[in-house]
Chain A
Amino acid sequence: AQSVTQLDSQVPVFEEAPVELRCNYSSSVSVYLFWYVQYPNQGLQLLLKYLSGSTLVESINGFEAEFNKSQTSFHLRKPSVHISDTAEYFCAVSHQAGTALIFGKGTTLSVSS
């Protein structure tokens, strides 16, 4: 069975510092990988995804994630965070289109000045 592990439940950082949110998955088959962000009292918003092709994917607001098949990881990084990046971040995996997403437990990113 597939599972997703987000290794850090909380990550506090200062504004303009770099950040990495870690995600590892277990699967014996090809996967689709996603990062979603959830702001307080809002639904999940897609941040970025890996379906195929280049293993490095980027979002429009400066986040990036790299699919590492050998390490079964899909860590999320940003070189310089803003206060507005404070939110809950969820890593998710599915093994084919049209199937359920399996989510990690989430990482709370808290950015302070």
Chain B
Amino acid sequence: GAGVSQSPRYKVAKRGQDVALRCDPISGHVSLFWYQQALGQGPEFLTYFQNEAQLDKSGLPSDRFFAERPEGSVSTLKIQRTQQEDSAVYLCASSLRGDTQYFGPGTRLTVL
């Protein structure tokens, strides 16, 4: 495709449920980033992959958050035992050389 795609676009979960958010980066992009954007705030970094290697996960807020990119393309962000404070828009970005990041439309997660 022409850009980064994410699915689902909207997700409603009951507190305690597990969720999985998918990101399809631009074809050929080596770098992939996940960000969390709370309402009225700028995006905050969660984790970074270069190909299949997770090089930085310093932004993951707790051990309930887990990300993978097993074949160096599609990535999945998983949140276990969701809490209300996890409600946010989750953005994925990809980059060819790591200098410029191109963002997907995001997944809006609402935890009830």
Chains A and B come from one and the same complex:
yes
Q: Counting CB contacts under 8 A, is B42 at the interface?
A: yes
Q: Counting CB contacts under 8 A, is A29 at the interface?
A: no
- 20 residue pairs from A and B, CB less than 8 Å apart: A4-B42, A32-B99, A42-B105, A43-B103, A43-B105, A44-B43, A44-B103, A51-B99, A51-B100, A90-B43, A97-B98, A97-B99, A98-B48, A98-B95, A98-B99, A100-B33, A100-B48, A101-B93, A103-B44, A105-B42
Best-surrounded residue of A34, A36, A51, A100 (most CB of chain B within 10 A):
A100
B binding-site residues for A, Cβ under 8 Å: 4, 31, 33, 35, 40-45, 48, 50, 55-56, 59, 91, 93, 95, 97-106
Q: Is the CB of A106 within 8 A of B42?
A: yes
Q: A97-B97, A98-B31, A98-B50 are in contact. Are A46 and B43 (CB under 8 A)?
A: no
Q: Counting CB contacts under 8 A, is A45 at the interface?
A: yes
Chain A neighbourhood of B102, CB < 8 A = 46
Extra contacts besides A42-B105, A45-B103, A101-B33 (6): CB < 8 Å? A49-B100, A51-B99, A98-B55, A101-B93, A102-B45, A106-B40
Interface range for A? 20 to 34
A99 to chain B, nearest CB (A): 8
Binary flags per residue of A80-113, CB closer than 8 Å to B gives 1, else 0: 0000000000101000011111111110000000
Chain A neighbourhood of B101, CB < 8 A = 46, 101
A25 to B64 alpha-carbon distance, docked (Å): 32
Q: A97-B97, A98-B31 are in contact. Are A104 and B42 (CB under 8 A)?
A: yes
Chain B neighbourhood of A34, CB < 8 A = 100
A98 to B41 alpha-carbon distance, docked (Å): 23
Q: Is the CB of A100 within 8 A of B59?
A: yes
Q: Is the CB of A103 within 8 A of B48?
A: no
Chain B neighbourhood of A103, CB < 8 A = 42-44
A101 to B42 alpha-carbon distance, docked (Å): 10
Residue of A nearest to B95 (CB): A98
